[in-house]
Amino acid sequence: MSIASNIQEINRTLTPESKLIAVSKLQSPESIMQAYEAGQRRFGESRAQEMTAKHKVLPDDIEWHFIGHLQRNKVKYIIPFVSLIQSVDSPALLEEINKSAEKTSRLVPCLLQVHIAREKSKFGFTPDELKQFMQEGSWKKLGHVRLHGLMGMATFTDNMDQVRQEFRLLRHLFEEIRSGYFSKDESFKELSMGMTGDYQIALQEGSTMVRIGTALFGVREKGE
């Protein structure tokens, strides 16, 4: 199957509320151009350096989404051009993004990453940490970032009931936070969940952004 036909195939399964983010980490600019020529404009990358290098050589109308763990000392490289930072996994990172965005006079859209999977991971707010962070309210003073929603990854498992439960938990958190803090702010509307192995379930559970690499480009050379 070609990249173009994979994109067509995935687009056919999307709901009217959902968008495809083509996860292009470790893919060459040539592969990205094949997706681009098939009409794809939103791409997800997980390393600051790699995303910056690709941004330089690829068309300007690409929307770059950052989806990996972002170190604070790398923030400044992506701030001038990033469309959405999906993986804000700590209060300190959000503050750093705000500081860097202020220097560039940008308002940077962000999603907060929530740890919903059973695997141990250092990254992401737990549901309790997320609620505390929202409640505590210091995020409201950050004038150069705007919260657009939540992102999460389900457990890597064949147990699709468990995956569905985790997506459901994320959607409930999203709805709780939206009604609690964003009832007058329409930009809080994104729920980024679903990858190659589980995006059909994510769409059934209300995803607005599926992040798909393998089903689109084929298996990556080095896993991540």
Ligand X SMILES: *Cc1c(COP(=O)(O)O)cnc(C)c1O
Q: Which is nearer to ligand X, 162 or 214 (CB)?
A: 214
Compute the distance between CA of residue 40 and CA of residue 97 in angstroms, rounded to an integer: 27
Q: Is the separation of the CB atoms in 192 and 21 below 8 Å? A: yes
Q: Which is nearer to ligand X, 67 or 147 (CB)?
A: 67
Compute the distance between CA of residue 202 and CA of residue 211 in angstroms, rounded to an integer: 10
Return the residue nearest ligand X (CB atom): 213
Nearest CA to 45 out of 20, 19, 65 is that of 65
Q: How far is the CB of 180 from ligand X (least distance, A)?
A: 26
Q: How far is the CB of 111 from ligand X (least distance, A)?
A: 11
Q: Which is nearer to ligand X, 162 or 196 (CB)?
A: 196
Q: Is the separation of the CB atoms in 202 and 193 below 8 Å? A: yes
Q: Which is nearer to ligand X, 104 or 156 (CB)?
A: 156
Residue 182: exposed, middle, or buried by beta-carbon count in 10 A (0-12, 13-18, 19+)? Answer: middle
Binding site for ligand X (CB under 6 A): 23, 25, 46, 67-68, 153, 195-197, 211-214, 224
Compute the distance between CA of residue 173 and CA of residue 2 in angstroms, rounded to an integer: 37
Q: Is the separation of the CB atoms in 180 and 186 below 8 Å? A: no
Q: How far is the CB of 162 from ligand X (least distance, A)?
A: 17
Q: Which helix (H) or strand (E) holds 202?
A: helix 199-204
**CB burial string 55-75: b at 16+ within 10 A, e below:** beebeeebebbbbbbbeeebb
Q: How far is the CB of 124 from ligand X (least distance, A)?
A: 10
What DSSP state is assigned to residue 206? T
Q: How far is the CB of 51 from ligand X (least distance, A)?
A: 12
Q: Which two tokens stand for residue 95?
A: 């503050």
Q: How far is the CB of 96 from ligand X (least distance, A)?
A: 20
Q: Which is nearer to ligand X, 130 or 142 (CB)?
A: 130
Q: Which is nearer to ligand X, 55 or 211 (CB)?
A: 211
